[in-house]
Structure formats: C-alpha cells, structure tokens
Amino acid sequence: MDRVYGHNYYMRGSWEARAETPNELAFRMLRHIDLLRQIDPLFASWLSGVSGPKKFETVRNSYAEIIAARISTDDWGEPLPIDGYWFGAITRDQPGSLSYAVNIHAGAHKHTREFQNDAYFSTSSGFIPNPTAVTYRIFRSALFAIVEAWEPTDCIALPHELLGFIGNRNYHFHEVWMQYLSAPLARLITPPQTAIVDHLPNGGLLMSATTETFKVDNPTHLAVARDIAAATEPLNKLPCAHDPNLR
C-alpha cells in the first residue's frame, strides 16, 4: 500500500516544567503502556521504539537505562538534563493502518517555558487509519491513559486534517475533537452547551465534539470543534499560549 500522509489522528498531552529522573519516567511510561493494553487488543504488543526496536516486554526491567541514554544534549554532544529525555514505543504485529506510536518528551524543567513536556499518541503518519483504529471509545480511553500516567496540564485529540482549518494561528488552544483541561485550567472556562462534557474525579474537564469519529467534512463536528475553541480562547492569554513549539 502506498503511503498517504496527513490523514492520521493524534493526541498530545502537555505539561509545565517538571524535573524527573529516568526511574520516575520509566514508571510513568510502563504505566502508560499497561493502561493502553487494557483498552483494546490492538495495543497488546509493543516495540520499545528506541535503541533499535526491541519487544517492549523484554526491556521493562531496564527501561530506565534506555531513557537515561536518550537524554537531551547540547551542540557539543554533552548531556543537557534541563531539556529532558526523548523516548517512545510503537505497536507491532499490525498493518500500518492499525498501527500506533507513543512519543514522549519529559523531564524538561526550563523556567523560561511552560508546557515544555509532552506525550504524543498517534496513528501511523504514513497511512489512512482503519476506521476501527480511530473510534471515540479508543481515543477517549487513550486520552485518559495519558492523563493518568503523565498528569498533563491539558491534552487534546484531533485528526491531522483539522489543522488545515486552524491556519497559522500559533495558539495552544484551538479547534479539537477532544480537549482535556486539568483542574486549574478547567476553572477558568465555561464549556459550550454543544459539547459532550465530562467532569472528572481529579477536578479536570473533558470536552468532546462528538462520540463519532471526528470528520473534518462533517459540518456538525466542525461546528462543535469551533465552539470548544471559542470556550478555551481565554486560555490563549496565558504566557505560553503563543509558543509555536506547541503546534
């Protein structure tokens, strides 16, 4: 099958400066993968995604060492702990249209930037995803896995195609399929009546545009996504909201 780019679905959880050790990050990553495995058989088997593809279950006990080797470096190749670590995993034994990846940048703790850490979950960027891979059930559950494992400040889910409707606005909060806000941010906005709203036990808030798979050519889906963007627009007044690295 020829590769087709720009049609994948993804989510991104972001959080503020948080210094964490490789051991702490390994604990979070293992928790993340275990939570995903509980969602669907599609998430049963993973490759470590770093240091050469290895079956994830074979590196569980040494995953902190793998993360430690993925520390950020400066222009001279020297370790730069303040910029954190980069690591991830990919599903195995599935065709490209049913494949997923988890990519993490965590442990960064520069005091000059907010939301500098993130956890990505996405379908393969080179394939049109199978409809069974991008259901509301799967993506809502995968979003909650990010929330539980990484404790992000916010988390979004959307099809890559939706970025074409956002244009060049370098805002952190914009049109989405799903938008999670941690308790401090949730208190600052009023959810739109058109959205599906979940108030979570941790005080956070989840707004969803639809319980169907989000389609950019569905006017109803797009209208609610724009309502969510309007509701979160006040959050773009936060200092971090114009950071182009968040797009």
pLDDT digits (tens, 9 = 90+) for 40-71: 999 999 998 665 678 888 899 999 999 999 99
Do 67 and 26 meet the contact criterion of CB atoms below 8 Å apart? yes
pLDDT at 21: 96
Q: What is the set of domains in the chain, with CATH numbers? A: 1-152 (3.30.2030), 156-242 (no CATH)
Q: Reading across the β-sheet that carries 196-199, which strands appear in turn?
A: 46-47, 85-91, 100-106, 117-123, 9-15, 154-159, 178-181, 205-208, 196-199
User: Which of 56, 98, 200 minimizes the C-alpha distance to 140?
Assistant: 200
Which 3-state string (H, E, C) describes 94-124? CCHHHCEEEEEEECCCCCCCCCCEEEEEEEC
- For residue 241, pLDDT over 80 is answered with no
Give CA–CA dist 186/206, Å, rounded. 9
Give CA–CA dist 229/136, Å, rounded. 19
- For residue 167, pLDDT over 80 is answered with no
pLDDT at 244: 37
pLDDT at 48: 86
pLDDT at 115: 83
- Give 231 or 165, the one with higher predicted confidence: 231
Structure tokens at 76: 């001279």
Number of other CB atoms surrounding residue 58 within 10 Å: 10
Give CA–CA dist 187/23, Å, rounded. 33
Arithmetic mean of pLDDT, 117-142: 94
Q: 0.75 exceeded by the pTM?
A: yes
pLDDT at 242: 39
* Average pLDDT of the chain, as a whole number: 89
pLDDT at 6: 65
- Give 167 or 99, the one with higher predicted confidence: 99
- For residue 247, pLDDT over 50 is answered with no
User: Which of 195, 203, 198, 197 minimizes the C-alpha distance to 228?
Assistant: 195
